[in-house]
Amino acid sequence: MDETFVYRATSVLSRPGGIYGNMFLLWASPTEFMQSLYDHFGDVVPLGYKPRNVFVFGPERNREILTNPEVFENHSFEDIGYFQHSKEYARELALGLGFLNGPAHRERRRLLRPSFLRESVDQYTPTFASLTERMLRSWDGRETFEIVPEFTDLAVSMGLKTLMGLDPSPVADKVKALFEEMFGLVFSLPYALFPVNLPGTTYRKAGFATQKLSAAVTELIEYKRRTGLDGNDILSQLIRLQDENPEFTVPDLIGTVTGLFRGMYPNIASALTCTILLLALHPQVTGEVLQEIHDRLDGRAIASDDLDHLPLLEGVIMEVLRLLPPQYWLVRISRAPYVLDGHEFPTGTNVFLSPYVTQRMPELYPDPNRFVPRRWIGVQHQPFTFIPFAGGVRHCLGSVYSLHLCMIVTATLLQRYSISLLPHTKLDLAGLRRAFPRDGTLMKLGHPGLPVVPDDLTGNYTRFVDVTA
């Protein structure tokens, strides 16, 4: 390996902080840091003197990593040091699809795939529309709303209903609270820095939270078995599969559902939030989408058959996922030595890929920082140039689900309201893995029509999207 190159990259980008300085910059501003790596050093950037971390950019590198699962795997439960002592009370965490690799991953995908095919997802269209209408009714009589909690709650409600068959109810509220408590603790900094099972520690609290969530999901499974499994939610489908697949155990089932829920609702919430923000910043695009929706729906509720006849609406969602992907970066771990661009890397290297950087390469997407939904109409982009759903054998099973959900929510909402940013708003987009506006970002409700862009908007949003045209 060219250690001179590695040291030069480190010293320029981390000040003299070595790998820790570089990773601090990633945590502090992931999009700027990764873009700077690519702009200064190209498509393969090792970090540190003897690096165990490397960033790769562009479609060819994405293909190289994502189509070679024998070498590049997802991190398993065992790879994450501070989870090691968790298995006694969090075994289900180790059994979600995201932590599986090899034959176990392939088998779990085989079981899940029918639930995420187009014909299966289509049956959720009335659910997506009715839960959106429920949110919109709660806005009646209001002039403003805070965007992040509204769309987060909507995404959670969508997940509870379609994944577990839970309508808005005290039971759903209980499960939601348990999920939020468990994820908030297990993926917190105190948990990672002090993984010791002592009274009062976050680690101990996470254990109790995980046990409570596991008990609640187990109780739900038993209730569904007692009352019948005729629901179309994914949990009911998987329980029915257990009769034919006895090796698919109850802990596997709990891990699968909790993993799907954890992977779904933050990404959906981010995509919906960013869709509304970008439309609020681009009145002309909003007007064109509204016309398309009116021509097709004429005020009625959207149906599954409509989705293939709203190409500009689909382009809006695709363009949001390109500019502000639900995950700025993906990571794999190497299970064998490998060579990239003449650099040798050992087993155990963390390989970071960036949808954010790849999807803003001007040679792939002209005017890459502009919001141009029409670039998706009638165009087939090259493989691995668009990876918000990863790719290869780990391409997200929920990609059709997510796209359809976002289209249905957006079409339903635009027929009821216009949504604008308030004057004097400071629109800052923050987040380590995905874009969210900072807490307190209020939106103004109006009659259906074009949003109004205030002249005095400030904030870092202009680093993410070019709104000058």
What burial class does residue 313 get, using C-beta atoms within 10 Å of its C-beta: 0-12 exposed, 13-18 middle, 19+ buried?
A: buried
Report residue 246's pLDDT band, with 50, 70 and 90 as the boundaries: confident
The pLDDT score that the predictor gives to residue 278 is 98
pLDDT > 90: percent of the chain = 65
What is the rounded average pLDDT of the residues 16-45? Answer: 80
pLDDT at 143 over 70: yes
**What domains are defined for the chain?**
52-463 (1.10.630.10)
pLDDT at 450 over 50: yes
pLDDT at 123 over 80: yes
Phi, psi of 388 (to 5 degrees): -65, -20
Report residue 227's pLDDT band, with 50, 70 and 90 as the boundaries: confident
The pLDDT score that the predictor gives to residue 5 is 37
pTM here?
0.92
Q: How many CA atoms lie within 13 A of 286 on its CB side?
A: 23
Of 95-99, 363-367, 387-391, the least confident: 95-99
Report residue 115's pLDDT band, with 50, 70 and 90 as the boundaries: very high
Listed as own residue / partner, the contacts of 217-220 with beta carbons closer than 8 Å and 24 or more positions apart are: 217/164, 217/175, 217/254, 217/257, 217/258, 218/250, 218/254, 220/164, 220/166, 220/171, 220/175
